[in-house]
Structure 1
Amino acid sequence: MTTRPEPESAAARPRPGTRSSARSNKLSRDVIVNAALTFLDREGWDGLTINALATQLGTKGPSLYNHVHSLDDLRRTVRMHVVDDILRMLSAAGQGRTRDDAVTAMASAYRSYAHHHPGRYSAFTRMPLGGDDPEFTAASHAAAAPVIEVLASYGLDGDGAFYASLEFWAAIHGFVLLEMTGVMDMVDADVVFSDMVLRLAAGMARRNEADG
């Protein structure tokens, strides 16, 4: 005799909206921020909106507002994460190195980060280091600390080291932007970059000799 399955009770059947609610419950501020970081590298800074990110996460825009206050709040948090990433990246690249060896390693790591994470890099450079956000300004200055530490191996300190770190960043940043816009496609960018970094390093040593 064939036994028919008992009818599914109303309590056992999924209620309308249950799947959507379960998905929304998986959202958190960390999940949203990490998704935004991934989104940036694919779609760019200008493409990052609450609705666009919600679509990537398979939900609706209002669901994100349970975890982030606004688009500005999300973008600020993303910037802070990127600054922290760059700080750790530069620290790791310069670890145990001094002078030209350290400068070369840190410059290469910085350039590699910009190429692998173009959207995040854009987030880092979108806000002035001396802007209206004291926390972001402090974090941005902290990102220069590993470079300043390396410059100390050339005998530079104080304002001299700080301004030298800005010059170092300006040169590397300018080169990276030229690469991103295709200007460097006409030359061997790796050779030009290496030569530029070595000239920067030589300038650090000469600066200290001149100050002395």
Structure 2
Amino acid sequence: MPLRPTRADPATPGRSERQALDVVPRTPSVLPEARIPRAGLTADRLVAAAADLADEAGYDNVTLSALARRFGVKDASLYAHVRGLGDLRTRMALLAGGEMTDRIAAAVAGRTGKEALAAFAGAYREYALAHPGRYAATRIRIDQDLAAASPVMRRTADVVHGVLRAYGLEEPDLTDAVRLLRSTFHGFCALESTGAFGAPREVGTSWNKAVDALHVALVNWPREQGR
């Protein structure tokens, strides 16, 4: 574990937990065709454009061909900047993970305990709903060596662990707690983003109740025998 929407109300565990949870957004039938000037084409510009395309058209619709059309170049031209779709998706994951972590870090700064948890949860939800394609990008599994060396992944873990250590948690409980948060946040956001909550109860109220329940669980965390 390493989360500005109109719908929002105001993790190092196992390596996969460092990644901030897998939404597959609904996608339009036609990809946006707006072209971006090709001058000064760089890997960073490609990744930023890919992230924008993911938000607009859906993560699964981000391909090298679609990206090349946006820049008005041939597919082969992109290989001077990225090694392929897998490399592009890894770079997207790191970009989005960094953005998400920045927002969470800003939200929890100066806070602790339940207040920090609520701020963490709110920033996570807001990013997931405002940037569905970017959010989906954060769910891919990053190569273990790259994850271990990535400043983004390390910072994400530091931020999440900082919130959880205020509850007196250390490993291996940290990993378990991160998994609980990821499962709850991701599951809720995944359902909300697809309109799956059909009951008349206001969604934000249910979200706040879920955060309250997580706080109670963390305060009363079951300790391993002998610890």
Q: Aligned match of 2:211 in 184, 193, 197?
A: 197
Structure 1 counterpart of 2:131, which letter?
H
User: Does 2:113 correspond to 1:134?
Assistant: no
Unmatched 5+ residue regions in structure 1?
1-22
What TM-score results when the alignment is normalised by the length of structure 1? 0.79
Q: Which position in structure 2 is the counterpart of 1:53? A: 67
Greater C-alpha Rg = 1
Secondary structure (helix, strand or coil) at the match of 2:72 reads coil
Shift of 1:132: 4.3
Aligned partner of 2:83 in structure 1 is: 69
Length, aligned pairs only: 187
What is the Cα deviation at residue 167 of structure 1? 0.7
Please tell me whether the aligned partners of residues 90 and 106 of structure 1 are also in contact (alpha carbons under 8 angstroms).
yes
Q: Normalised by the size of structure 2, how large is the TM-score?
A: 0.75
Q: Deviations over 1:55-95 (max 9, x none)?
A: 12232222222211211111111111122222222211111
Whether 2:160 is the aligned partner of 1:151: answer no
Structure 2 runs not aligned, ≥5 long: 1-36
- What do the CA deviations read for 1:28-72 (whole angstroms, capped 9, x no partner)? 111111111111101112111111011122322222222112111
Match for residue 178 of structure 1 among 186, 191, 194? 191
* Range with bigger deviation, 199-208 or 169-178: 199-208
Structure 1 residue matching 2:83: 3-state secondary structure: coil
Measured after TM superposition, the shift of residue 153 of structure 1 is 1.5
Q: Deviations over 1:159-209 (max 9, x none)?
A: 212311221121111101111222114331100000110110111111178
Which structure is richer in relative contact order (CA contacts within 8 A, separation 6 or more)?
2
